[in-house]
Amino acid sequence: MSTPASVLDAAIAHAFTGLREGRESFAPKLTPHEVGTITSISTGIATVSGLPGVGFEELVRFPGGLLGIAFNVDEKEVGVVLLGDYEDLRAGDEVERTGRVTDVVVGEGLLGRVIDPLGRPLDDKGPVPGNERWPVERPAPAIMDREAVSVPLQTGIMVIDALVPVGRGQRELILGDRQSGKTAVAIDTILNQRGKNVLCVYCAICQRASAVAKAVARLRDGGAMDYTVVVVAEGNEAPGLAYITPYAATSIAEYFMEKGRDVLIVYDDLTHHARAYRELSLLLRRPPGREAFPGDIFYIHSRMLERSTHLSKERGGGSLTALPIIETEAQDISAYIPTNLISITDGQIYLSPTLFELGVLPAVDAGKSVSRVGGAAQREAYRSIAGDLKLAYSQFAELETFAKFGTRLDDSTRRIIDHGQRIRACFIQPESQPVAMAEQIGVLFALSVGLFDKVPLEKMAEGVRNLRGAAAKMPPEVAARLSTADKLSDADRKVILDIATLALAPLQPPPPPKPAAEPAPEKKPAGGPAPATKPAPAAKPGPAPKPASAAPPQKEPAMKPEATGKPADPPASAPQPAPPAKAADKPAP
């Protein structure tokens, strides 16, 4: 019995020794914890006092877990932008600092998910996986870390890939009036990236919930959600959420770019983003400028779009291509926000309401659309085939206006108009049906050599379908050479020409028959009448002529010619006398 008692005493003594050592080594530390107080609340804005150490754009926490961004840091108070529903907040509630800036979750687990700017899920797939978080505001890559844009980003839209090419790492603006097809162009571009090793981020800013649901459904039906992340701030959300949405989406896209991936991001649209920032600035009593926008409205877009680039090989070689969307009013592309974005981006795609009303979809205006990267972001096969198409299409657009006035056109002008009408007909493309590169080159090659010029306009849609179907069966070795940087060889051109000619042959009218040779004139016997060189024109119906041998009846003239000096007019009812017969037609005596 003595042995167990000694063991128990030793264990108790050891436990107390540990407690005594822990008590002696414990040194309490005081952590400063700043707490402020809400002084006033307005639409999406709260004024807070008592946070002397808060930093610019630092997150603060309100009762109920609501977050806000310290936007105006003044001497005595702080203007905070609220990031959620603020109906339960009251003046006098406590506010505490978080010590971190606004961030968002990033990672591979976001692919196929629909989230809000704070990383909270909006779909029915449970919590968003991933523990890594990146700040929504990050500096753009340095100039020495970038490379020139040289790899094309195929949109699957023929008029864009041929006339306004987009490269990986480029910033291409899409602008036009509302309901002109801007979102459709962006969604079709995302759908065309399937199987091309390009990840996509679709950022919806202040869009209707029904419009966002429709866009997500189109992406899901097209199989694009497997490589797409959707970041949404609906129109009924707080303006602070709409403000940080494009920055959060850019951070998500940058995560994949830093991993060496090619990423496409769509901002739909930055007009609502600018209006949300204007609303916040006016509520924070910042001085307004042109169109009531604050003075730094240019900077909030430029610092975001500068993060889209093509990284050097030392940085992984990834790229981030941006397609910002802007809504114009009454086709005015010289307004404040559109001109800001035009000067920031590397080109623009303008969608014309006039072409949209004519049924030319997508309604891309080739005259006002431009890509400042140009042929550097285009395959050599495109450059060799579609080089003159934009000039021919622009000439057609100019001449078409004059042709509407009914002016007489010469043959060369008529040929330009006819060729331009067929170019426009080939560029008409249904929604959600991207065109593969081989099919595009087949159609463009047929346009450049004039094979479509003989196809009637009412059969152009059928001709394009036939040619696309035939080009899809192009020999694999020829189709593989189209995606390289080499020029098309004569053998490749002959293969494409044969395919196009065979596909369009049933729609072209048959050639006119050759005129038959005129028979030689028959010889007449001597003394007879000479043969007439041309057939006499058909005589007008009238009284039957009398035989030449019968003498015409004599009729007394109403007045003798000698008395008046003029021949008398025949009566109205009397038939006109036949012209005198030629010498060759007089009968023989």
Q: What's the pLDDT tens digit per position in 355-414? A: 999 999 999 998 899 999 878 888 888 888 887 888 888 889 888 877 877 667 888 888
| Residue 151 in tokens | 């790899």
DSSP assignments along 288-334, one per residue: B-GGG-BTTHHHHHHHHHTT--BB-GGGT--EEEEEEEEE-BTTBTT
Confidence (pLDDT) at 564: 42
Asked whether residue 121 carries a pLDDT value surpassing 70, the answer given is yes
Phi, psi of 324 (to 5 degrees): -75, 145
Are 119 and 234 a contacting pair, CB within 8 Å? no
The length of the chain in residues reads 589
In the chain, the domains with their CATH numbers are 35-100 (2.40.30.20), 105-378 (3.40.50.300), 389-507 (1.20.150.20)
Asked whether residue 79 carries a pLDDT value surpassing 70, the answer given is yes
Amino acid at 390: K
Asked whether residue 579 carries a pLDDT value surpassing 80, the answer given is no
Q: How confident is the model at residue 525 (pLDDT cuts 50, 70, 90)?
A: low
Is the Cα torsion angle 173, 176, 178, 182 positive or negative in sign?
negative
Cα distances (angstroms) measured from residue 290 to each of 247, 294, 304, 337: 24, 8, 21, 10
Q: What's the pLDDT tens digit per position in 221-231? A: 999 999 999 99
Confidence (pLDDT) at 14: 83
Q: Could you tell me where the beta strands, DSSP code E, fall in 365-491?
A: 370-371
Are 40 and 283 a contacting pair, CB within 8 Å? no
Asked whether residue 571 carries a pLDDT value surpassing 50, the answer given is no
Instruction: State the average pLDDT for the chain.
Output: 86
Confidence (pLDDT) at 516: 62
Higher per-residue confidence, 521 vs 258: 258
Q: How confident is the model at residue 309 (pLDDT cuts 50, 70, 90)?
A: very high
Q: How confident is the model at residue 567 (pLDDT cuts 50, 70, 90)?
A: very low
Asked whether residue 575 carries a pLDDT value surpassing 60, the answer given is no
The residue-averaged pLDDT of 257-276 equals: 96
The distance in angstroms from the start CA to the end CA of the chain is 174
- Catalytic one among 194, 372, 481, 493? 372
The residue-averaged pLDDT of 109-127 equals: 93
pTM score, whole prediction: 0.81
Identify the burial level of 95 via C-beta atoms within 10 angstroms of its C-beta, where 0-12 means exposed, 13-18 middle and 19 or more buried.
buried
Confidence (pLDDT) at 440: 93
Asked whether residue 150 carries a pLDDT value surpassing 80, the answer given is yes
* Active site (annotated) includes residue 307: no
Asked whether residue 583 carries a pLDDT value surpassing 80, the answer given is no
* Nearest alpha-carbon partner for 117 in 96, 134, 141: 134
Are 283 and 41 a contacting pair, CB within 8 Å? no
Q: How confident is the model at residue 479 (pLDDT cuts 50, 70, 90)?
A: confident
Q: How confident is the model at residue 3 (pLDDT cuts 50, 70, 90)?
A: low
Share of the chain above pLDDT 70, in %: 86
Confidence (pLDDT) at 116: 94
Q: What's the pLDDT tens digit per position in 168-219? A: 999 999 999 999 999 999 999 999 999 999 999 999 999 999 999 999 999 9
Confidence (pLDDT) at 524: 53
Q: Among 148-152, 252-256, 574-578, which range has the highest average pLDDT?
A: 252-256
The residue-averaged pLDDT of 62-86 equals: 93
Q: What's the pLDDT tens digit per position in 539-561? A: 444 454 444 444 444 444 444 44
Are 357 and 206 a contacting pair, CB within 8 Å? no
